[in-house]
Amino acid sequence: NAGVTQTPKFHILKIGQSMTLQCTQDMNHNYMYWYRQDPGMGLKLIYYSVGAGITDKGEVPNGYNVSRSTTEDFPLRLELAAPSQTSVYFCASSYGPDTQYFGPGTRLTVL
């Protein structure tokens, strides 16, 4: 099992541009999550999904969108990127509300 994979690993975006961060898991987990981690801070939940076709907002959803068309994939879309979205983004998955497994992260810089 590859676990949770994320692409790209690094990216630089210009203000106002859009992009999609990809996340795939091969553990057949029903729950998937997107977090952001700012320097010296804990992780904050952006969006989550409890199954294909079902998504919901977390603590910091503004400026982001998600979709969940399959069990395996949970892409995160950034529209009109702003410098405040410079962060490290982590995708995670779990089977129900138990242990979450994390991807390696995407380090995003908005200039």
Examine residue 64 and tell whether it contacts another protein (CB under 8 A).
no
Taking alpha carbons only, the member of 41, 2, 20 closest to residue 108 is: 20
Q: Which is nearer to another protein, 14 or 96 (CB)?
A: 96
Q: Are 19 and 9 in contact (CB under 8 A)?
A: no
Per CB under 8 A, the list member of 31, 34, 64, 74 interacting with another protein is 31
Per CB under 8 A, the list member of 1, 14, 42, 62 interacting with another protein is 42
Examine residue 52 and tell whether it contacts another protein (CB under 8 A).
no
Q: What tokens were used for 25?
A: 């898991």
Query: Residue 15 CA to chain centroid, in angstroms?
Result: 19
Examine residue 72 and tell whether it contacts another protein (CB under 8 A).
no
